[in-house]
Structure 1
Amino acid sequence: MEVINTIAALKSLLGPIKLAGQKIALVPTMGALHKGHVSLIEAARSEADIVVCSIFVNPTQFTDPKDLERYPRPLEHDMAMLSASGCNVVFMPSVKEMYPVPEHWHIDLGPAEFLLEGEFRKGHYQGVTQIVKKLFDAVGPDLAFFGQKDYQQVLMIENMVAYFDLPVKIVTCPIIREEDGLAMSSRNIHLNPEDRKHAVVLCQSLEYIKGYFEKAENQYSKDKLHLLEEAAKRMIQQTPGVALDYFVIADGKTLMPPTADHGSGLVVLVAAKVGETRLIDNMILS
């Protein structure tokens, strides 16, 4: 496993691999790795010859400076996980390397940018797509792997790829969960034992909705969806130490309320603050 810190060195390493016609996969991360990240690397290994994993805590996507400061950076642990997972190249640039000069970035990501996470973290997805575009330019991957847990983020990255007409295939991998159902997240490290116990209600609320859809064979009405959403919200709001930001059943492509034509499928998404830690989760319904 090679560790690279500059774009020039990365291009020098990957150039001959591209010329040889080998497939390159990128797994972008901000470090603080867990089994969810490992699952992305394993999926990438199954579809590509070379797997590049980036570790970069991107400052432009943090809307709260304190959140950036608190973000965990267990580098020794991350390197051990990457080595064990079969990653070939780790790209670990400095902020100066990725942002050598001040720059303005704003692209049209579509109406979904301003919904859900976009409403609570204004500008977040501009920062996300800014750094992902930089990583794509540096690596030139054939495929890029992302986790379903950041469902809205994947949609925004797909929109960015379409905006620039980039030759990279976006692959979304399933959420990896703890035994009790909690979605694995780098932020879970901040949960104290009491918060950790309460956080499971997010997954339970999603399972409640999914259970209804399975029994009803994906048949629904707007009124029924509203009642289901309200019942799930009550589950969360009645849990101590959990402050709900949103809980919605939405169209899988637009994140807008479902219509009679839901060919793109439905997804249920939730965000809440558990103690001092903000968590997100989702489940695909159909």
Structure 2
Amino acid sequence: MQTATTLEVLRSALAQLRAEGKRVALVATMGALHEGHLTLVREARRRADAVVTSIFVNPKQFGQNEDLDAYPRQLAQDSALLEAEGVDLLWAPTVTAMYPHGFTSNVSVSGVSEGLCGAQRPGHFDGVATVVLKLFNQVQPDVALFGEKDWQQLSVIRRMARDLDLTQPHVDAIIGAPTVREADGLALSSRNRYLSPEQRAQAAALPQAMRETIAALAAGSAVAPTLAALEAHLLQAGFDSVDYAQLVDAESLTPLEMHGERRARLLVAARIGGTRLIDNMAV
């Protein structure tokens, strides 16, 4: 596996892959890799001839009082994991390489970026869209893979790709891979390592409550009281607060007042200790 930390090295390595006629897949990450990331890498390998994985802790998607400084960074360990998975090229730029002195551009995607995490974390999805557009321009992948665990992020990226005509000639497919979960149902996340053993046990209430909510909605329960019961369940289980629990249209992310009208998704964000957990499930 080759590692690039500058655009010059990245472009040279990509030119070689293209000269060999290889179809290139991109898996964009912030490092602190876990099985969820590696599942994306394996799916990328299935869909392309060469896999490029980026590791970049993007400061533009962290707000004030968020965990940018504390976010785990373990490049050597992550690199070894990627090499073992057969990744062809690791793109690990510095902040200066990604955002050179004087950088002032910003990408904003309206609609799907508003509400939910967008309301809780102002500017977050501008940071996501900006860095992902840069990654698409830098790597020019044929296919890009993202996890469904952050459904709103996936929706923002897909909307940006459609709006800015990124589907041709470079990114012709943005694939959402199903969420990878622990045995008790908790979605894998780099932030799970922040949980104490007691908090980790309590966190299992999140997917459990979501499954119960989906079953209640399928049985005909009204949306508003069912979501209120979900929030109460989480608070009783040990969560400190619930940022949101919403039933939304799976594509536009607009809130739904009734179940069964359109393809729906249940999205939840809740805090336990200093850790914010997000999850979503199809309804």
Bigger shift: residues 182-191 or 71-80: 71-80
How many correspondences in the alignment?
279
Q: Counterpart of 1:226?
A: 224
Question: CA 1:113 to 1:262, structure 2 compared with 1: closer, same or farther past 3 Å?
Answer: farther
How does 1:196-211 map onto structure 2 within 5 Å? 196-211=200-215
Q: Could you tell me which residue of structure 2 aligns to residue 190 of structure 1? A: 194
4+ residue stretches of structure 1 with deviation over 3 A? 105-108, 259-264
Shift of 1:264: 5.5
Shift of 1:234: 1.2
Taking the aligned partners of 1:61 and 1:6, their CA distance within structure 2 comes to 21
Q: How does 1:103-252 map to 2 (within 5 A)?
A: 103-166=103-166, 167=168, 168=171, 169-213=173-217, 216=219, 224-252=222-250
Task: Give, as a single letter, the amino acid of the residue that structure 2 aligns with 1:35.
Answer: E
Q: Structure 2 matches for 1:26-65, cutoff 5 A?
A: 26-64=26-64
Could you tell me whether the CA contact under 8 Å between 1:251 and 1:262 is conserved in 2? no
> 1:80–1:235: structure 2 CA closer, same or farther, 3 Å change rule?
same
**1:7-18 map, 5 Å:** 7-18=7-18
TM-score, L = length of structure 1: 0.92
- CA distance change for structure 1 residues 260 and 178 in 2, over 3 Å: closer, same or farther? closer
1:270 Cα offset (Å): 0.6
How far apart are the structure 2 equivalents of 1:257 and 1:272? 18
Unpaired segments of 5 or more residues in structure 2? none
Q: CA RMSD in A?
A: 1.8
- 2:107/2:130 contact within 8 Å kept: no
Shift, 1:82, TM fit:
0.8
C-alpha contact 2:107 2:127 (8 A) present in aligned 1: no
Task: Evaluate the alpha carbon distance shift between residue 66 and residue 228 of structure 1 in structure 2; reply closer, same or farther with a 3 A threshold.
Answer: closer
C-alpha distance in structure 2 between counterparts of 1:104 and 1:137, whole Å: 17
DSSP 3-state at the match of 2:3: strand
| Structure 2 contact 239–270 (Cα < 8 Å) conserved | no
For 1:193, give the aligned amino acid.
P
Corresponding residue number in structure 2 for 1:102: 102
Tell me, in whole angstroms, the C-alpha distance in 1 between the residues paired with 2:259 and 2:248: 12
The alpha-carbon deviation at position 64 of structure 1 amounts to: 2.7
Provide Cα deviations, 1:203-239, integer angstroms capped at 9, x if missing partner: 11111123235x54xxx5xx71112211111101212
Take 1:142 and 1:264, find their aligned partners in 2: how far apart are those partners?
31
Taking every aligned residue pair, what percent have the same amino acid on both sides?
A: 41
Aligned to 2:82: 82
Which range moves more in the overlay, 85-94 or 118-127?
Answer: 85-94
Say whether the 8 Å CA contact 1:266–1:284 is kept in structure 2.
Answer: yes
Cα distance in 1, alignment partners of residues 11 and 97 from structure 2: 14
Q: Which residue of 1 aligns with 2:276?
A: 278
State the partner residue of 1:254: 252
- Judging by fraction of residues, say which structure has more helix: 1
Equivalent-residue separation in structure 2 for 1:263 and 1:15 (angstroms): 48
> Structure 1 pair 122/148, CA: closer, same or farther in 2 (3 Å)?
same
Amino acid at match of 1:283: M
